Structure 1
Amino acid sequence: MTRVLPFVRPAASQDVPQAVQTLAAAFADYPWTRHTVAADRHVWRIERLQELFLTRFGLPYGRVWVTGDVRAVAVWTTPDTAPPASLGEELDPLVAELTGDRADVSARAEALMAPHRPAGPAWTLQTVAVHPEAQGRGLGSAVLRPGLEAAAQAGLPAYLETSSERNVRFYERLGFAVTARVTLPEGGPLTWSMVRAPSGPH
């Protein structure tokens, strides 16, 4: 019996509310966000952070794909359209406010991961999520496929970071390889840097 692949399409502005809900549900108990985002009003903070990233970075400057029902979301940044430096300066105070009493921890975590990120052009998977109620249906690999194919067609590596060992195995099946392992200080999680070569899996 032929398996029907989930329908995946580029995201539009009207998808933002549902995409935010999907992302927040998936990241509510994720090790990285638990470590870097304040515990009080935790889910609300994640929702606002994801909304900020989608509306100010992902949609205007990156590539965002969703399944038809927006139960899966993948947000990439690419070398093609870089946001102006002034945007980061504008949003940094908002991000610090939303991370709350974990703002300094979040900044240190980012600084620790920075040396392991690609020095040259690459497609970077900034975030991907499948709503917990829709997991196990192939939505994750489906929503990632367009970005992986676009990176390969451009002859560029794809890069990501994950704080879940289960995710590491999932990404390895998609052709990624671990390039660094970083344990975040102050009780933070082990985080993996992973790269997929332009030629994809062999």
Structure 2
Amino acid sequence: MQNSVRPLSIDDLDRAAEVLGEAFADYPWTNWCVAEDSHVERVAALQRIYLEHLALPFGRSYIDDSGNGVIAVLPPDAPEPDEATVEKIVELHGDRFERVLQADEQLSALPALEHAWSLATIGTTPRSQGSGLGSALLKHALAELDRTEQACWLDTSTERNLPLYQRFGFTIVGKTSLPDGPDVWRMHRLQG
């Protein structure tokens, strides 16, 4: 099956957030750091904020034509969200926001790839998993980074994702176990 990938537009935000909410409904990271009540809605709202306030204006983001998969990469110099946006992010994490702060501190000890873009998010609807859509999204986004000779890094809290990323040239450079939370692997990919 051919998956056609195109740039994400402002008109795609609601659908993209819905896709990512579904994709991350049972993801170890979001289960650990996003409140349990209205969990999928909170995750979708968080993803929408990141797409709208970071990926669209500063990064590169893509969706497939069927609207079942989304990917976003951010440049190393993406600005921090404004105060009102940060307040909304804190609110959406609910009683688990303190975990985000703890994780940031622990993750900062992992090897960093200077001046590299980050693979901020990638997800497909559950019914699209295994169809090659995730690979098509990765191929498209990484080809754009390669075209401009940009390296990339990511963090993942799902071990089964590692072989997919490795097929696209990412290597594991570190791993940490979050307190009462998931393991997180850091991966780097030099420009292609």
Alpha-carbon distance between aligned partners in 2 of 1:181 and 1:22, rounded to the nearest angstrom: 27
Partner of 1:189: 182
TM-score (norm 1): 0.89
Structure 1: unaligned runs, 5 residues or longer: none
Matched, 1:74 2:67: no
- Structure 1 segments, 4+ long, off by >6 Å, are none
Kept after mapping to 1: 8 A contact 2:110/2:175: no
2:42 to 42, 45, 52: 45
Partner of 1:114: 108
Partner deviation per Cα, 1:2-50 (whole Å, 9 max, x = no partner): xx53100001111111111110001011000000001111111111111
User: In 2 relative to 1, CA 99–109 (structure 1 residues): closer, same or farther, beyond 3 Å?
Assistant: same
Aligned length: 192
Counterpart of 2:5 in structure 1: which amino acid?
V
Matched, 1:20 2:13: no
TM-score (norm 2): 0.94
RMSD: 1.5
Counterpart of 2:78 in structure 1: which amino acid?
A
Counterpart of 2:119 in structure 1: which amino acid?
L
Alpha-carbon distance between aligned partners in 2 of 1:100 and 1:29, rounded to the nearest angstrom: 17
Partner of 1:7: 4
Structure 2: unaligned runs, 5 residues or longer: none
Alpha-carbon distance between aligned partners in 2 of 1:42 and 1:188, rounded to the nearest angstrom: 17
Matched, 1:124 2:118: yes
Counterpart of 1:176 in structure 2: which amino acid?
F
Partner of 2:133: 139
Matched, 1:158 2:165: no
Partner of 2:173: 179
